[in-house]
Amino acid sequence: MAVYHSPPASALTPSFADVQDFVDADRGLIASLKPCVIKNANGKVVWNNDEFDFMHKSPCPSTVDPKLWRQGQLLSKQGLYRVTDSIHQIRGFDISHMTVVEGRSGVIVIDPLISCECAAAALKFYQQHRGVRPIKALIYTHSHVDHYGGAAGLFPDLKNDAAPDGVPVIAPEGFMEEALSENILAGPIMRRRAAHMYGAQLPRCAAGSVGVGLGMGTSSGRVSLIPPTTIISHTSQQISIDGVAIVFQMVPNTEAPSEMNMYFPQERALLIAECAGHSLHNIITPRGALVRDAKAWARYLDESLTLFCDAAGSDVLLSSHGWPTWGAANVKKYIAEQRDLYGYCHDQTVRLMNCGLNGAEIAETFVLPPNLRRAWHAQGFYGSVSHNVKGIYQRYMTWYDGRAENLWKWPPKEEGSRYVQAFGGPQETLRKAKQFFADGDLRFAATILSHLVASQEEYTQPIQEESREALAQVFERLGLGSENALWRNIYLCQSRDLKQGPRRMVQGSPLQAGLPPQLSIQDSFSALSVSINGEDACRHNGTIHIGIQLEDLNQAWALILSNGVLTSRQYGNLKTLEAIPQDCVITLNVSQLRDLLTGKADFESLSVLSGRPAMLAKILSFAGIEMKNGPPASHL
């Protein structure tokens, strides 16, 4: 089934005759892992790069955008690569790369992938070819899990993911707060959306996943978080480790809220984290996150040019994804174009916004400058111009697009039933949708069919099945024709769900996934507060006050439930707390508190200083937490 349509000859696109990316991606290869399959201790596969070997065995099929196919061929290359005499990268062992910098007697490891199993395999593979050397430092470039999650895999004797003795763990300012907070409160929905965005359940084939545009996918092993011991706080801060000099550049609120680049003057090498890559990145990500600052992103890239190209001079640029760029002139040109890419997206979106256009209108006609349209690294394989422009609009103007009819729209089901009625009923709606599909207007066919599917409970089983199948077909065609890997995966996953039914995923509370041991007490109580079913809690008359003494931290806290809202308040000490009337006061340590908030605590084992512990159980029941041996929720 041919779904990709070649652009007109007049369109400005990169040249497939330009093979420099393939030259750079292959440069410095020392060895490849065969097979590139990584398993956990139980034999379960947590990473399989070989699933994408089909992309190297045949020409691009009609079911994949040719540019995206090329990107997948480049990103699926794997092995140990020499970047400079003392800098090596292990690529293709996860979505991100692990960088190893050799010092006088040991190594500095940068960005240890997502999973412990993958990081351990990467280090072992490096050691097989470069020798065993002690780790002298561990560095995280930023606060996303693919750059810190595998840390414990580097230290097999480590207990409780604590910092290893004598090994500094270095991270940018704000790292721990951002690493923990981004995925806690909105964690459940983010994980569900990320599964679609990364195509986790899609087959690896020409009709399925061909990667994610930034890498080939995400590993599924154990995730750890070793807290940093050394914080980098300002640009031009310098340190020396094992004879290796490093100069840092702080780049917060670019691709991550806490992020930094680093320059190695002895190697004239710039590691630019994810500020520049071989695709337009996400200003707003489909999995969900705060909108990133495209203007700051461009400004920091210009600062990188000034610091590390004009002043210092960089002969090679490498990042946590993709492949390096060699040559001072090439590095300078590449960074400048990436700067202009984010700067143009930002400035022109704001200009058109101020002319009265909304996000969808801007995205529909937004065109990058000719030089950027011709640049392979500026293509929309991971981020897209369309959803990034809408994200920039959202950052300034919120969700409201200035159209009054959108202030108070019906929810999907209610709106859908009204559209179906307006179209002349379900059969006529289906007929019209199929006509739009036949005419090639896939987007409007999807809109009509989505209204029909949303309201399908009102109609007979045959019309339900036919409408779902028709929408699945539309999504499949949209996915297979997408240049953007994330759009492709999302469309194909939605198509699969319509055909097979959505896969069961954990719903609801952030507490169900457990609380990281490094999470602050305040953030732990915040996770509890967003898990409270406000409607149920409002049925309780009055206010509940619970006092909590944390023995090991010498802290006193109060939980206050009123009007369906749980508020946490810290007091100076237990005496101050007890001076205020409480329904119950308990004492416990941090580990026991974590058990309490995740449903592992025993009601009969609570250390109660005063009051009625059933009131604490009542608060927890509003969050769906039932304590062992506790009173039944119906009796609270």
**SS3 annotation, 116-149:** HHHHHHHHHHHHHHHCCCCEEEEECCECCHHHCC
Query: Rounded distance, CA 209 to CA 534, Å?
Result: 40
Q: Are the C-beta atoms of residues 318 and 272 closer than 8 Å to each other?
A: yes
Q: What is the largest CA-CA distance in the chain?
A: 80
Q: Which two tokens stand for residue 28?
A: 């410095």
Buried b / exposed e over 263-294, threshold 16 CB at 10 Å, is bbeebbbbbbbbbbbbbbbbbbbbbbbebbbb
Q: Are the C-beta atoms of residues 385 and 359 closer than 8 Å to each other?
A: no
User: Following DSSP, what letter does each residue of 523-546 receive, concatenated?
Assistant: HHHHHHHTTS-HHHHTTS-S-EEE
| 286 pLDDT tier (thresholds 50, 70, 90) | very high
Query: Rounded distance, CA 69 to CA 78, Å?
Result: 16
| 183 pLDDT tier (thresholds 50, 70, 90) | confident
Q: Which residues pair with 608 in a beta bridge?
A: 586
Q: Domains of the chain by range and CATH?
A: 27-350 (3.60.15.30), 409-500 (1.25.40.880), 521-623 (3.30.1050.10)
| Interval 259-283: pLDDT, tens | 999 999 999 999 999 999 999 999 9
DSSP 2: -
Q: Residue 246: in which H helix or E strand, if any?
A: strand 244-250
| Interval 81-134: pLDDT, tens | 999 999 999 999 999 999 999 999 999 999 999 999 999 999 999 999 999 999
320-326: average pLDDT: 98
CA dihedral 501, 506, 509, 514 (to 10 degrees): -170
Query: What does the pLDDT read at residue 506?
Result: 53
Query: What does the pLDDT read at residue 137?
Result: 98
Q: Which two tokens stand for residue 510?
A: 């952030």
Query: Rounded distance, CA 303 to CA 301, Å?
Result: 5
Report if pTM > 0.75.
yes
368-397: average pLDDT: 98
For residue 2, is pLDDT > 60? no
